[in-house]
Amino acid sequence: MLKNLKKYLPLLPLFLVQFFTWLGLFSLWIYATPVISTYFFVAKTPGIIDYESGTTWVGICFALYSFLGATFTFTLHKILKKNPKYGVHALALLFGGIGMISMEFIHSKWLLLLSFVFIGIAWSSISTTPYLLVGEMAPDEESEKFYSVFNFSTVIPQAFSAFFLAFITKNLFHGAMMKTLFTGGIYMILAAVISLIISIKKKKIG
């Protein structure tokens, strides 16, 4: 049993990157709508939030980062062929973290689109690079098992986020969801730092 588990140890550094990456993503997915509606869409009546317009704009922002993530993938594959994958992933995650953090400092819904451009760059790598890394680690005859184990790198953060994000929003930030979203950007930058450290170590070993 122990011997079977040891063969998956090369996945652990990537698991750590994934944990903070997805913690940041879940911060975005859970809190983007209330945050954007509250901070960017105040109705004509003072104190009333225009949630309908806010929800519509969130849909536009999410569509933008999804579209950019998909289209940038073609360029990303070319970049990954010439550069260390962990290093490229680190840069992409850094863009994502900056995109999330920037929301606290801007006041225009149009500038908000720029934040999601940065997030789109991150999403392109998040949905591509980790799977390429797993493919490099897994022996041909064990690839399906490695990918199955790798799926836990998204399931575990999801289960953790369900409790943790609500807890810190209520008890640490006293309901200030923008702070939760800001912290989500920090999580993603932390993932970028970990990915960069792994890249540097691999370069030294290589």
Is the pLDDT confidence value at 78 over 50?
yes
pTM for the full model?
0.92
Nearest Cα neighbor of 192 from 119, 117, 97, 123 is: 97
Res 1: pLDDT: 44
Report the C-alpha gap between 41 and 161 in whole angstroms.
27
* DSSP letters for 67-94: HHHHHHHHHHHHHHHHS-HHHHHHHHHH
Collapsing DSSP to helix, strand or coil, 119 comes out as: helix
Would you kindly state where each structural domain of the chain is located, as residue ranges? Answer: 24-205
Using 50, 70 and 90 to split pLDDT, how confident is the model at 164?
very high
Nearest Cα neighbor of 31 from 193, 185, 181, 164 is: 181
Q: What CATH topology corresponds to 24-205?
A: Growth Hormone; Chain: A; (1.20.1250)
Q: What's the pLDDT tens digit per position in 2-59?
A: 456 677 788 899 999 999 999 999 999 999 999 998 888 875 555 566 788 889 999 9
Res 46: pLDDT: 52
Are 79 and 70 a contacting pair, CB within 8 Å? no
